[in-house]
Structure 1
Amino acid sequence: MNRELSVAGIDLFAYSVLGSTNDEARRLAEVGRRGPLAVWTAVQPGGRGRGGRNWAGPRGNLMVSLLLHPDRAPAEAGSMALAAGLAVANCAREWGADACIKWPNDVLVEDAKLAGILLEAGSEGGRLDWMAVGVGLNLAEAPALDRPTTCIGPDVPVETALERVVEAVLQRYRQWLAGGFAAMRDEWLERAAWIGRAVRVGEGQGAVEGVMRTVDENGSLVVCDAAGVERRVAAGEVFPLES
């Protein structure tokens, strides 16, 4: 069932069950709906994270996507995922979780995954046509994944989290439109996980290993390799290296 409501001052498409909120946001964009608008579902059996990984969406957790239409170059889109991660991490801290951000799109509590951001976009004529910013936040339940997970706990209702997270992501989106990721970089770094830690970024022959130094003004990860060379990485999965 689809109900068209509102949340944080924008249109909300609400479902009892939906395969993927990002897929629905994309569909709405393709049929001409203009954002900002939000797509929320109580249960999401077909959710996914980066790289197509499964992201369980049981009842009691938050699964929501924002459909946005920034007039920006496609290369700029990725840094909006960092902005959304900062928004979600700060919300989690308001609810008592010691949340930090793992570049580029995870929110952690003591290395356990609390939330994930999935950003997908379409472009036309060299400019972004639409952008879907998906948020999966473990509220009542920590789903079983191939890595440690955690949750906020039952004291934060889904309705409360929905309103606050949508509001917070929209605030960061407006800040991102005005000044890019650079406008919030210092605050993002205050919440950053694994700075100073030995990591591997990516897999296979193209992987980069070294010490995570910082994130630059464009949102790229800066890793210092064994030769002392700073390597900038625009996208990829980060894995900790054993000390």
Structure 2
Amino acid sequence: MTARRATAVEGSAGGVDGWRVVELGAVASTMEAARRLAEDGAAGRTVVRAAEQTGGRGRMGRPWSSPPGNVYMTAILRPDVPTARAAELSIVAAVALADAVAQFGGDVALKWPNDVLLNGGKVAGVLLEAIAEGGALSAVLIGIGVNVASRPELPDRRTSRVEGAGADAVFEALVAALEARYRQWCRDGLAGIRSAWLARGPAIGAPLTIYQGNERLEGRFAGMEGDGTLALALADGSIRRIASGEIVE
């Protein structure tokens, strides 16, 4: 499907000064549209928002159901940090997303690394991509989808949606929360945001099963390291540090 004509609103997105929003109709994915803009020189704090996606995707390349009425967006950020620190923004975005969703009521929790749960069901997720040029970090793309008007029925997990608010209100709350947490990270690093994630994350000692490719790991949650990696306590008493993987329910 061909994207409808895009319009750019300068100056403020979600009521937050300094952000520029590019509003689209139906697109393959906001991540693809944002990548093109970033490669063409779009400034940091540009956010691409679409009414629907025809080829939305989540983690591990899975399709992300994207009918009209939900929030689909990708933020372009240009932090002045080494490329190795780009992954920290996954945690930053997850905490901001939880902050925004919590404004509309319900029990909000975080599932490592960046899924947001509302009343026990997945309500939103984050997809992170970094763009490097000549070995230096050029931009970070943060793709976010939030179930508002509808939620997908999935065979392997519960889902939920934000109720009592429209997609515009959720989008505005999300941009404001992302700005606040991004500023905090730029100023102080991940420490305070890590604490906020842990406050909504699993209890220390909670059982976890994690897949890393074909490897299945079972253990107990032992916290989050300073760089956002997960600490998993194994049965033999050792600690396994997980930089990427998928927690199964």
Q: TM-score range by the shorter chain?
A: over 0.9
- Please report how far the alpha carbon of residue 70 of structure 1 lies from its aligned counterpart in structure 2 after TM superposition: 1.1
Deviation at 1:211, TM superposition (A): 0.5
Q: Which residue of 2 aligns with 1:149?
A: 159
Residues 96-124 of structure 1: CA deviation (Å, up to 9, x unaligned): 02111100010012431110011111112
Shift of 1:125: 3.2
Q: Note if 1:191 corresponds to 2:200.
A: yes
Q: Match for 2:237 among 202, 220, 228?
A: 228
Deviation, 1:19, is 1.2
Deviations 1:114-146 (A, max 9, x none): 100111111123321111111101111111234
For 2:224, give the aligned amino acid.
V
The two structures have a TM-score, normalised by structure 2, of: 0.91
SS in 1 for 2:237: coil
1:94 aligns with 2:98: no
State whether residues 21 and 63 of structure 1, in contact with CA within 8 Å, keep that contact through their aligned partners in structure 2. Answer: yes
Which aligned segments of 4 or more residues in structure 1 are displaced greater than 3 angstroms? 203-207
**Worse overlay, 70-79 or 24-33:** 70-79
**TM-score, scaled to structure 1:** 0.93
1:115/1:136 contact within 8 Å kept: yes
Say whether the 8 Å CA contact 1:21–1:64 is kept in structure 2.
yes
Match of 1:138 among 127, 132, 147: 147
Shift, 1:203, TM fit: 3.9
% same residue:
37
Which amino acid letter does the alignment assign opposite residue 175 of structure 1? Q
Distance (Å, rounded) in 2 between the aligned partners of 1:29 and 1:72: 17
Tell me the CA shift for residue 82 of structure 1: 1.0
Q: 1:223 to 1:46 in 2, by over 3 A?
A: same
Deviation, 1:236, is 1.1
Letter of the aligned partner of 1:219 in structure 2?
G
Q: 1:4 matched to which residue of 2? A: 8
Question: Shift of the alpha carbon at 1:172?
Answer: 1.0
- Determine the structure 1 residue equivalent to 2:48: 39
One of 70, 79, 82 as aligned partner of 2:88: 79
Cα distance in 2, alignment partners of residues 28 and 54 from structure 1 = 23
CA RMSD, 1 decimal:
1.5
Q: Shift of the alpha carbon at 1:13?
A: 0.4
How many residue pairs align between the two structures? 239
* Residue 69 (str. 1) matches residue 40 (str. 2): no
Select the residue among 106, 121, 129 that pairs with 2:138.
Answer: 129
User: Which structure 1 segments of 5+ residues have no match?
Assistant: none
Q: Deviations over 1:169-223 (max 9, x none)?
A: 1211121122222132212111113642222222455443211111111101000
Secondary structure of the structure 2 residue equivalent to 1:219? coil
- Does the 8 Å CA contact 1:87/1:172 hold for their aligned counterparts? yes
Q: 1:135 to 1:205 in 2, by over 3 A?
A: closer
2:62 to 53, 57, 60: 53
SS at match of 1:168: helix
CA contact (8 A) 2:91 2:194 kept: no
